[in-house]
A and B are shown apart, each in its own frame.
Chain A
Amino acid sequence: METQVHTLVATVQDHPGVLTRVASLFRRRGFNIASLAVGHSEEPGYSRMTIAVEGSSDDVKQCEKQLYKLIEVDSVRNVTNASAITRELAMIKVRVGASDRPALAAAADIFRGEIVDVSKSSMIVQMTGGQDKIDRFIDVVSDYPIEEISRTGAIAMVRESAD
């Protein structure tokens, strides 16, 4: 069956160990986490997790159901096909001398990235956006030696419907 990356958004109780439970579930059922981002939600005592998971739609359906069975998981939603906004934050440290700085800055600018640090031999670019955009930026600058990449993993939110 065809596999793709699905995005699940789960509201979970803000308890110690809840991340372990979720991670343990994915591991033992053989679901492959592409990324997982977690932080406080609008409701005190609850966190929101965005989990990108690879698999067929049947696999992911089973994954949602198993996730929902965890007592501390309040709700699970697969937003892959919903009208959702997905964003990720990335920082990319590129080894670049003074002569190449303008070219890298221009590339960052095209992608609406921000230069957040400059040293004699490197620059750090901060980039926010969909995962595709960040992937493409990394591809574009990959001719320079990339020293470090740190990505948060995606977070997602469903849009209000138009009507």
Chain B
Amino acid sequence: MTSKNGSSTNGYSPNTLASRTGGDVVCDAILEAGVDVVFGMPGGASLPFYDALYRYQDRLRHVQIRHEQAAGFAANGYARATGKVGVATSTSGPGATNMVTCMANDMMDSVGVVYITGQVARPVIGSDAFQETDITGISIPITKHSYLVLDVDDLPRVMKEAFHLAASGRPGPVHVDIPKDIFLESTTEVAPRDLNLRGYQPPKVGNRTMVRRAADVINASERPVIMAGHGIDISGASDELFELATCGNIPVVSTLHGVGTFPETHPLSFGMLGMHGLAYANFAMGQTDCIIGLGTRFDDRAVGKADEFGPDAKVVHIDVDPAEIGKVLQTDVPIVGDLKMTLEHLLPLIERRERVAWIDQLNHWRDEHRSLDIPESPDSVLPQEVVRAIYEVSGGKARVIADVGQNQMWAAQHFWYESPRMFFSAGGLGPMGYALPAAMGVKLADEHQDVWCVTGDGGLLINIQEFNTLAAEGINLKVAVLNNAHLGMIRQWQEFFYEGRSMGAYLDNPDFSKVAQAFGLHGMSANSRDEMNEAIQMAHAHDGPVVLDLHVDRVENVYPMIVPGTGVSSVIEDPR
């Protein structure tokens, strides 16, 4: 494929290892990446890989999910909880296409997952063979990179590159499509010690001049705000963020994925911003004179109308991905670099400042606009109360995985996350059905942690088959279903923007506690506040997976809300 000095042959020391099959090469690469779980489902084209997994089963755990989409989401949860790479596998054709949503999700949320798909054998590729799909053709726009391996001698290098690409720089999904006969063939090749990826050099420390300019802008500002994004977690820069905020007395707001990167009970934390962010977090963005965007892509759900977002602010933006800088906001100080390394250089240049007037202003807004007060509700349990109850029962120590929609916003708002990797949800793509499988991955990442899956009834139904995986694998996680018998966010939007014409939002649900029981899980229902509290206590105490079908108010809305097309100054607050 390449010539003598091309990359595919560079650095190999030939024939020094015993011969390995393609399947063994893949298993070895997974183990070398420090990964100990593979989520997947076998099929014709991946059978020889499963034969290798059979040989490796004492070292590498295979968790058989019940739908390939669950494999991808579980690998996402595992990756985010460990900071390592997740691995998901499927067969060719339908198995592979079932993981497409997961790849798109990882891509949007910058999560490192390696997808290993079986492909039909090389001689029949392109012949419309049984279960053949051009899956690398499909995955190109939704992966960081992809490979179709056509020579077993390339496989050791490809696998090593795949894990490196998935984990480094701005992480993302990497897809390796492997024909059935390649899993079976043997090779004596080993991966090169140093990878030769000329076109891929993830940035390290940001430009020093720019870092000094950032310090000048920050030091001169009276009303700065740090917008803490997912990059803080990815780069492991929470300590540096804490230093920056406390040294300069700079308030911190977080994006959905930045939740917990700065302790939410700290006086300088003003919570999550955005469409359903806290009122005062959004007000801060309207009035600030200096936005310090750290590891964020200024997503439209966080920013709203860009003209109203810090209209008078200088923008300092640090991100590892140069393409994110200047994409949404005009940036005064653009810095491309690893956050942790760059902040280490920035911190000594930051002056101690009190910024009393600004902090007072924010605290005044916080007192006036009580975004986290839960209204009285004598006749129904409010979903926010469920999240609070989980916060209380776990002492704030649970890892919470939310699905998509209202439940996601309540889980982000009404729990105070003290550290990163405590709150997980699918932000950019927003795939309902994420929470249950992702929670399995989070639990298997560290089984000592309490793990709560907070899902709506609609999202649960999308991957409810995974109850079977929970039971079969004995994955001890707690599932709290905020059951409002609706696609709640759809119902809310139809109420707000379609004069209440509800179409397709109502869900005629089964009894989820009985469904859980039929799968061999512990299932309980709750209709009142007392029953809800009792159920959550019981689930916390029970040693094993529990599903709680919690009947909550059917028409509760998520507040505050910024109506699409408007900005941070037009926050709609709870009318009660």
Chain A positions near chain B (C-beta within 8 angstroms)? 12-15, 17, 20-21, 24-25, 28, 44-45, 58, 61-62, 65-66, 68-75
Contacts and interface: CB of A to CB of B under 8 A. Distances in A.
A4 B197 CA distance: 33
Contact of A13 (B137, B144, B199, B322): B199
Nearest to B170: A69
22 contacts: A14-B6, A15-B1, A17-B136, A17-B140, A17-B148, A25-B141, A28-B141, A44-B2, A44-B5, A45-B2, A45-B6, A58-B326, A62-B326, A62-B327, A65-B322, A65-B323, A66-B323, A69-B323, A70-B199, A71-B144, A71-B145, A71-B197
B323 A72 contact: no
A107 to B, nearest CB: 45
B509 to A, nearest CB: 37
A130 to B, nearest CB: 30
A45 B5 contact: yes
Q: Interface residue tally of chain B, by bracket? A: 20 to 34
Nearest to B322: A65
Nearest to A21: B140
Nearest to B200: A71
Contact of B140 (A12, A24, A66, A75): A24
B209 interface: no
B321 interface: yes
Contacts of A72: 199
Contacts of B576: none
Contacts, number: 51
Interface of B: 1-7, 136-137, 140-141, 144-145, 148, 165, 197-200, 321-323, 326-327
B139 to A, nearest CB: 10
Contacts of A62: 323, 326-327
Given A62-B323, A71-B199, A72-B199, A45 B3 contact: yes
Nearest to A23: B140
A44 B6 CA distance: 7
Given A13-B7, A17-B136, A45-B7, A74 B326 contact: no
A71 B165 contact: yes
Nearest to A67: B323
A53 B456 CA distance: 45
Nearest to B3: A44
Contacts of A45: 2-3, 5-7
A114 to B, nearest CB: 35
Nearest to A45: B6
A45 B2 CA distance: 6
Contact of A14 (B2, B5, B199): B2
Contacts of B323: 62, 65-66, 68-69
A70 B3 CA distance: 22
A73 B136 contact: no
A5 B333 CA distance: 28
A15 B136 CA distance: 14
- Residue from A13, A17, A68, A71 whose CB has the most chain B CB atoms within 10 Å: A71
A55 to B, nearest CB: 14
A72 B5 CA distance: 16
Nearest to A20: B140
A20 B199 contact: no
6 interchain residue pairs of minimum CB distance: A45-B6, A65-B323, A44-B3, A74-B199, A71-B145, A45-B2
A62 B322 CA distance: 9
Contacts of B2: 14, 44-45
A74 B198 contact: yes
Nearest to B198: A74
- Residue from B3, B5, B140 whose CB has the most chain A CB atoms within 10 Å: B140
Nearest to A73: B199
Contacts of B6: 14, 44-45
Contacts of B321: 69
Contacts of A12: 199
Nearest to B140: A24
A59 to B, nearest CB: 11
A87 B148 CA distance: 35
